[in-house]
Amino acid sequence: METVELKVEMVGIHEKRLRKCLSKLKGIEKVEVDVSSQKVMVTGYVHRNKILKAIRRGGLKADFWSTQDELLSVYASASYGSLRFNNFNFF
């Protein structure tokens, strides 16, 4: 069993379309969607390229989740007053 993390550009309506695209693939056990960070985690016995291809065929922009996306997600969700690194305030 493999977990694939994807970055999918979506608004509220696109979550239903995303789940419909993934429901057509056999072997998917679980789909978790975080709309605020645009992150989708798919767990199952399906090759990661097939998952990506199915989402793109559904008309959604998608790519594999990277560490750069993780940093951007943390930066965007942090409030400006509490952003601190090594006791230095940036905002």
pLDDT at 70: 67
Output the pTM of the full model: 0.72
> Tens digits of per-residue pLDDT, 3-31?
999 999 887 678 888 999 999 999 999 99
Tokens of 59: 């008309």
> Tens digits of per-residue pLDDT, 38-76?
899 999 999 999 999 999 999 999 999 887 766 666 666
* Alpha carbons 83 and 59: distance in angstroms, whole number: 36
pLDDT at 86 exceeding the cut of 90: no
Q: What are phi and psi of 88, to 5 degrees?
A: -110, 130
Q: Are 28 and 44 spatial neighbours (Cβ–Cβ below 8 Å)?
A: yes
pLDDT at 80 exceeding the cut of 90: no
